[in-house]
């Protein structure tokens, strides 16, 4: 049927088995055209027989294509074009009427499918109007056309089919909404994973490259004054570069971990290379794995900021079972944007997973800057 458009591409591809099930769901109801088909096949005149069978076949194919088109439009979340829906219904009705010379009064069985298609393709109000017209037509024509008789069976079939199609259409709509929600969840998950990877790469490379830059600068100054010390610093630069590369690979592979003990050792090396006196704890309390990792990230971010921005001469790191502090005697970040950079954003995100608080700003009662991460119940 020319009025039926080509079936659009399914935006949520499914297996061939389930696609075939969708087609069968529409085609199986065509069994109710069997009486009209039997009437057409028993016509004495060949042209009536051919016309009746041909229009019924075209009607069935048009109905199945219309159902599949409407189903895919709903799956894609796109509105069904009103003009095209009316054109489809008009084409189906025209095929049913065209088959009357071959099917006689049995053509009215096609009204059941026209009503069901209206429920599936049209908004509620016009669909109800079509259903009422399709239901009353057999009763009216049965009284007006001699030999047809009132088709009460068609009347009830139209109402029942419309009610069943109403349930099918609502189910299709809910499935489309569910699939759209799932697609949005997948998109947000990908965005979150990208943000996590970007955050981790920033935290890892920001710290490592800062230390590499400081040590390279120190090696340059010592090259003539103390070549042996310069060679040691260059060896440290090479080691740090390899560790940074390993961390990046670990981040991409999602198996890298950060520990407080490792970060304290790295902090001592970075602070010493920058000419900042490091005051670190002699021992560490037993910490749960998640808290140990969070405190490690806090030390990494705090020391990176001290080396980059503070201009400090001394940096102190304190660790308790419930909190970690990185404090210095310098000027802190040179601008507010430095204090709220990507590293601290990432640290706050990690802290929020443990309901921990992050404090960053000027030290009270003295010069310098303070970064503090405390889990619930931490004492000031």
pLDDT digits (tens, 9 = 90+) for 120-139: 888 889 989 998 998 888 88
209 vs 356: CA distance, rounded Å: 28
The rounded percent of the chain whose pLDDT value lies above 70 is: 75
Predicted confidence band of residue 2 (pLDDT cuts 50, 70, 90): very low
The pLDDT of residue 334 is above 60: no
Domain residues for the domain of 281 are: 263-380
DSSP H or E run through 245: helix 227-253
In DSSP terms, which residues pair with 327 in a beta bridge? Answer: 316, 370
Give the count of beta carbons closer than 10 Å to the beta carbon of residue 42. 11
DSSP-derived 3-state class of residue 335: coil
112 vs 105: CA distance, rounded Å: 14
The pLDDT of residue 224: 76
The pLDDT of residue 74 is above 80: no
pTM of the predicted structure, to 2 decimals: 0.46
164, 184, 204 - which closes a domain: 184
Average pLDDT over residues 98-116: 86
DSSP strand E in the chain: where?
Answer: 277-279, 314-319, 323-328, 357-362, 369-374
Shared-domain flag, residues 173 and 294 = no
The pLDDT of residue 7: 45
The pLDDT of residue 50: 92
Shared-domain flag, residues 166 and 291 = no
Shared-domain flag, residues 290 and 153 = no
Shared-domain flag, residues 303 and 178 = no
Q: How many domains does the chain have?
A: 2
**What's the mean pLDDT when you consider all of the chain?**
78
Question: Does 359 reside within a domain?
Answer: yes
368 vs 378: CA distance, rounded Å: 22
Question: Does 203 reside within a domain?
Answer: no
- Between 41-45, 305-309, 371-375, the lowest mean confidence (pLDDT) is in 305-309
Shared-domain flag, residues 326 and 179 = no
Do 52 and 40 meet the contact criterion of CB atoms below 8 Å apart?
yes
Average pLDDT over residues 66-85: 82
173 vs 230: CA distance, rounded Å: 71
Question: Does 221 reside within a domain?
Answer: no
Answer with the residue of higher pLDDT: 1 or 284.
284
184, 206, 232 - which closes a domain: 184
184, 206, 231 - which closes a domain: 184
Stated length of the chain: 380
Shared-domain flag, residues 88 and 178 = yes
């Amino acid at each position: 049927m020319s009025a039926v458009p080509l079936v659009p591409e399914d935006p949520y591809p499914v297996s061939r088995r389930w696609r075939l099930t969708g087609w069968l769901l529409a085609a199986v109801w065509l069994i109710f055209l069997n009486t009209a088909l039997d009437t057409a096949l028993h016509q004495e005149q060949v042209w009536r027989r051919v016309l009746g069978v041909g229009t019924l076949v075209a009607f069935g194919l048009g109905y199945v294509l219309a159902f599949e088109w409407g189903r895919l439009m709903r799956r894609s979340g796109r509105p069904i074009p009103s003009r095209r829906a009316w054109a489809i219904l008009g084409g189906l009705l025209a095929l049913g009427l065209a088959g009357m010379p071959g099917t006689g009064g049995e053509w009215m069985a096609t009204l059941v499918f026209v009503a069901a298609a209206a429920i599936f393709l049209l908004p509620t109000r016009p669909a109800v109007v079509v259903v009422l017209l399709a239901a009353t037509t057999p009763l009216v024509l049965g009284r007006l056309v001699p030999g047809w008789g009132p088709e009460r069976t068609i009347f009830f079939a139209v109402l029942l089919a419309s009610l069943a199609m109403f349930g099918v259409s609502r189910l299709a709509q809910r499935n489309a909404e569910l699939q759209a929600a799932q697609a949005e969840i997948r998109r947000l998950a990908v965005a979150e994973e990208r943000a996590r990877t970007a955050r981790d790469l920033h935290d890892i490379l920001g710290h490592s490259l800062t230390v590499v830059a400081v040590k390279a600068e120190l090696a340059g100054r010592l090259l003539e004054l103390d070549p042996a010390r310069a060679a040691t610093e260059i060896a440290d630069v090479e080691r740090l570069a390899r560790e940074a590369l390993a961390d990046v690979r670990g981040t991409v592979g999602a198996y890298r971990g950060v520990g407080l003990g490792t970060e304290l050792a790295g902090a001592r090396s970075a602070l010493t290379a920058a000419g900042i006196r490091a005051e670190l704890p002699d021992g560490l309390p037993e910490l749960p794995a998640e808290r140990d990792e969070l405190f490690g990230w806090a030390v990494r971010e705090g020391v990176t900021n001290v080396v980059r921005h503070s201009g400090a001469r001394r940096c102190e790191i304190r660790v308790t079972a419930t909190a970690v502090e990185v404090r210095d005697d310098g000027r802190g970040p040179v601008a507010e944007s430095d204090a709220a950079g990507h590293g601290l954003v990432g640290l706050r995100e990690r802290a929020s997973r443990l309901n921990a608080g992050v404090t960053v700003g000027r030290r009270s009662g003295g010069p310098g800057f303070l970064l503090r991460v405390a889990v619930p119940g931490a004492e000031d």
